[in-house]
Amino acid sequence: MKSRTERIDETLRATFSPLECQLEDESALHAGHAGAASGGGHYRVRLVSSRFEGLNRLARHRLVYDCLLEMMQAEIHALNIVALTPTEASAQVSGTTPDSRTN
């Protein structure tokens, strides 16, 4: 049987075909928290996908939440999302912003 983290990772990869998918289980940092008591985990995800092109941050987050909706009901209590386009991710690595680069 796959772990919750593995199922989240597989679902994100199948939905977004990301160039990068980093998923961290931060549940242990929230031990004793009400959400942890209910069994829901705390996760941090960084996704780089062309599916986010032309979307604002709220729309990107909605896509991720919709993708994991079934798990959000009981298995995920908190999800910290960084959702970037490939251009934005490249700009972070190079220390520039997409608007400041010349063509």
**Global confidence as pTM:** 0.82
Token pair, residue 54, equals 């032309």
> What pLDDT, on a 0 to 100 scale, did the predictor assign at position 82?
98
Report how far residue 88's alpha carbon sits from residue 103's, in angstroms, rounded to the nearest whole number: 15
Domain boundaries, the chain: 4-100
Q: Print pLDDT tens along the chain (103 aa).
A: 899 999 999 999 999 999 999 999 998 776 666 655 566 799 999 999 999 999 999 999 999 999 999 999 889 989 999 999 999 999 987 776 555 444 3
Report how far residue 96's alpha carbon sits from residue 93's, in angstroms, rounded to the nearest whole number: 8
> What pLDDT, on a 0 to 100 scale, did the predictor assign at position 101?
43
Fold assignment, 4-100: GMP Synthetase; Chain A, domain 3 (3.30.300)
